[in-house]
Amino acid sequence: MKLKATAMGVVAMLALLGAVFAASASASVTWHFEGENLEGSETILGGAYESAMTVPGMTTTCENFLYKLSIDNEGGAGKGSLTEMPLYECTTDTEEVCLVESIGAEALPWSSHLTTVSSENYIVIEGAKVGILYAGEECVLDETLVIVKGSAGGVVDNEAETATFDSSTLEATGTELKALNQKIEWNGVFPTEAFEWHREEAISVS
């Protein structure tokens, strides 16, 4: 009788675990347009009017920080591939000493996925890599190519159709960017809009 009771307990536990995993699977975050689940793929574009990365002792700000992202709902979960990320008009907060000689995204495409943390929806960018070459005779990083790399999570605002990246969103998603063997800060608010089949349609994730 004891063995039978134990076996029934195991079966009940497996059933409970199955229900938990099924609920988790059904809660996957996906891309939507006009409230409807995205079928097939779409390309979305966006650009922060200003985005800043702070390496130890210096902040680099780009007036135009753009991106191009191909998205789909693969296996019932929102995915993406960041294929382009041009950066323009980038300066430092110590411009009289350090100039940005060149800056650019490397090792594209970068993969991305949607996720939920504490009821908030996020987009997580993985495999990010940006090279920044600084110049200036008195600049400590003169002719030094600084590589910023890692992953970054940004919270999605459906009403505003934006993704916001800052220290709190990176912490919430367990992501980080590093340069010169140190953790760096990244701040930016990125509006989004469809470029192909769903132009001018409201984009959201849920």
| Interatomic CA distance for residues 70 and 82, integer angstroms | 6
What's the half-sphere exposure (Cβ side, CA atoms, 13 Å) at 146? 29
Q: For 94, which DSSP code?
A: T
Digitized pLDDT (tens) for each residue of the chain, 206 residues in all:
443 443 334 333 334 334 333 333 335 899 999 999 999 999 999 888 789 999 878 999 999 888 999 999 999 999 999 999 999 999 999 999 999 999 999 999 999 999 999 999 999 999 999 999 999 999 999 999 999 999 999 999 999 999 999 999 999 999 999 999 999 999 999 999 999 999 999 999 99
CB 96 within 8 A of CB 104: no
Q: Radius of gyration of the chain from Cα atoms?
A: 21
pLDDT at 55: 83
| Interatomic CA distance for residues 38 and 72, integer angstroms | 7
Q: Is residue 4 part of a domain?
A: no
pLDDT at 50: 81
Number of domains observed in the structure of the chain: 1
Longest dimension (CA), the chain: 84
Domain hosting residue 121, numbered range: 30-205
Which two three-digit tokens encode residue 103? 């800056």
Q: Is residue 18 part of a domain?
A: no
- Under DSSP, is residue 204 helix (H, G, I), strand (E, B) or coil? strand
pLDDT at 15: 40
- The pTM assigned to this predicted structure is 0.84
Q: Is residue 25 part of a domain?
A: no
Q: Is residue 22 part of a domain?
A: no
Q: Is residue 6 part of a domain?
A: no
Q: Is residue 144 part of a domain?
A: yes
CB 148 within 8 A of CB 129: yes
AA letter at 43: T
Which two three-digit tokens encode residue 94? 């110590």
CB 198 within 8 A of CB 71: no
Q: Is residue 104 part of a domain?
A: yes
Q: Is residue 96 part of a domain?
A: yes
